[in-house]
Amino acid sequence: MRLTDCVQAYDAHACGEPGRVIVGGVVNVPGASMYEKMCHLRDHGDRLRRRMLREPRGYPAANCNLILPPTDPRADAGYVIMEHVEYPGMSGTNTICVTTVLLETGMLPMSEPVTELTLESPAGLIGVRAECRDGKVTRVTFRNVPAFAVYLERPIEVPQLGTVTVDVAYGGMFYAIADAARFGLRLTPDEGRDIVRIGEMVKAAAAEQLPVRHPTQPGFSGITIGQLTGEPHGPGAHRRNAVVVSTGTLDWSKPSTWTGAIDRSPCGTGTCARMAILHARGQLGLGEDFVHEGILGTTFTGRLVEEVQVGPYRAVVPTLSGTAWITGMATYVVDPTDPFPDGFTVGDIW
């Protein structure tokens, strides 16, 4: 017997959201930029994503990152982000996990008390400031790509739910954001089934009715993720949110296809999108902290540091701070007799 496709990875989580980081086993991915490498994986190498995120090696709320040499000489490392139904251009929790793994494992040198580095994501260069103590990355703050609001308070028609008002913004992905109170939700873990069902329905309806495309990166288009926003539960937080990540394709006629998983963290790009909405409404200024609370009660702290123009949109440059912890390390393999080399999905939890 000969094991194949050996991949070395570290498992980590950022404020509860898991982010597996592949550090070995993938020799090369063609492409002149990290975006082109992402496209090559999506179009020609998607087996890696399926194998690492589906059962039995993954699970519905999992994310994965592939560390690659940067294509931009200004960057220290590159990474491609993989989720269950898409390759996001940017992800906050995954950036925090990637930074923590790169520094705590010695792949990049750590300097205490602060290490500064630049990562190349498919969406662009990400400046990172990592606070470090006794070999541990205690806090990661990254400067995200510009975020901007596309639609404010737009009514959409959602089958079975009626008219729902949403905001749409880009924070590294395009988000449809709706008020949780409209559905009688407080965004607690016991509401998980309803949060996923409603979040997926609102997201799918918004994607059909509100077209979006990034004006300078047209490869990023369409609303692919939903966020429900509500009042905070803990002291010091400004808002609570639950972001629903799709794990399948919704068929309106089949409730069993309304599948997704709640981001266990306060969601990095979701927080950036939310801050862009608040800024567009005049409710959040530059230099003000915005503490965003997730469904577990953990928090990210965001801040808007600059106003910029992105095509026709008035945009803002956000920073986001959070912490990740490494939980394990493993070599994932494929047995040539395994009937599920690329994993599987079952409708009970997906």
Catalytic center residues: 91
Q: Where are the alpha helices (DSSP H) in 210-296?
A: 268-280
Q: Which residues pair with 133 in a beta bridge?
A: 136
d(CA 15, CA 171) in angstroms, rounded, equals: 19
Query: How far is the CA of 128 from the CAs of 3, 33, 66, 139, 321, in angstroms?
Result: 37, 19, 18, 10, 10
Q: How far apart are CA 180 and CA 2, in angstroms?
A: 51
Report yes or no: 27 and 211 within 8 Å, Cβ to Cβ: no
CA angle 220, 172, 342 (to 5 degrees): 70
Tokens for 84, please give them. Answer: 């269950």
CA dihedral of residues 130, 37, 90, 64 (deg, nearest 10): -80
d(CA 230, CA 111): 39
Side-chain half-sphere exposure of 348, counting CA atoms within 13 A: 3
Phi, psi of 37 (to 5 degrees): -65, -40
SS3 176: strand
Beta strands in the chain (DSSP E): 4-14, 17-18, 20-24, 64-68, 77-82, 114-121, 124-133, 136-143, 147-158, 162-170, 174-179, 225-230, 239-246, 260-262, 289-293, 299-310, 313-322, 324-334
Among candidates 128, 137, 131, which has minimal Cα distance to 14?
Answer: 137
* Run of H or E including 40: helix 34-44
